[in-house]
Amino acid sequence: MYSQYKENIKKYYNTEAELRNSKSVKVDWKIQVRDKFCKLAKHENKETLLELGADAGYDSQFFMDNGLKVIAVDLSNEMVKNCLEKGIEAYEMDFYSLSSFEKNFDCIYAINTLLHVPKTDLNHVLNEINLVLGMNGLFYMGLYGGQDAENEFVKSEVSDAPRFFSFHSDSYLKTTLENHFDILDFETIDVSTGSEIDIFHSIIMRKK
């Protein structure tokens, strides 16, 4: 099911792709959660990683530099282009048909991307993730939240396309995720973004 909200998200990130590609420096807390997941993956001798919503490809590049074989997907064809230019194997794809890969990955990494999935679709997307996560595989999911809400936002200085956001409370996320994965670590971080959403959920899971 391909809905208008995906078209809007694609339009927005295609417009912002050049700007995001120019910003390789990450804030400290994003570096810390990425490093934590990477260290666990290396400790367990994981070899392959799928990044969902790879943006300009800097996280995928980081995991490649740390010895993982990476495939990246993004809904934005311009973001995919940025990834390919960095030597990353990347594909234009949403999260609803990951099983079309017909292969499994040792790790899956998704930071601030699944927040664009409506609550009504989240279980379907989590099931697709589970289908391509290998035995004993690790799944990282990070997203802003702290409350249960769904809204569209327009960042007019970038694009007139509204982006859909789905935010989740701790309790909602834990209940939903436990239906699909074993939760290894659930951390709630105050990131003080200056917006209404100052909470970031950083979650490491394992395939059941």
Buried b (16+ CB within 10 A) or exposed e, 79-117: bbbbbeebebebeebbbbebeebeeebbbbbbbebbbbb
Q: pTM of this prediction?
A: 0.94
Helix axes 119-132, 170-177, angle to 10 degrees: 40
What local confidence, expressed as pLDDT, does residue 147 receive? 87
Q: Computed from CA positions of residues 31, 184, 208, 39, in that sequence, does the dihedral angle turn out positive or negative?
A: positive
75 and 100 in contact (C-beta within 8 Å)?
no
Those residues of the chain that have pLDDT short of 50 are 1
Which backbone phi and psi does 17 adopt, to 5 degrees? -60, -45
Report yes or no: 83 and 90 within 8 Å, Cβ to Cβ.
yes
CA distance 61 to 59: 5
Nearest to residue 15, comparing CAs of 157, 207, 178? 157
CB 77 within 8 A of CB 108: no
Residue 197 confidence (pLDDT): 67
Q: Find the helix packing angle between 58-65 and 28-43, rounded to 10°.
A: 40
Assess contact for 59 and 34: CB atoms under 8 A: yes
Q: What is the pLDDT of residue 198?
A: 83
Rounded Cα distance, 8 and 162, in Å: 6
- Cβ within 8 Å of residue 40, ≥6 positions away: 138, 204
Residue 68: predicted pLDDT: 98
pLDDT confidence of residue 195: 58
Tokens standing for residue 79: 């973001």
- Output the pLDDT for position 163: 93
What was the pLDDT predicted at 193? 60
Residue 1: the pLDDT is 41
What the block records as the tokens of 157 is: 């200085």
Predicted pLDDT of residue 23: 85
- In sequence order, the 6+-apart residues with CB closer than 8 A to the CB of 39 are none
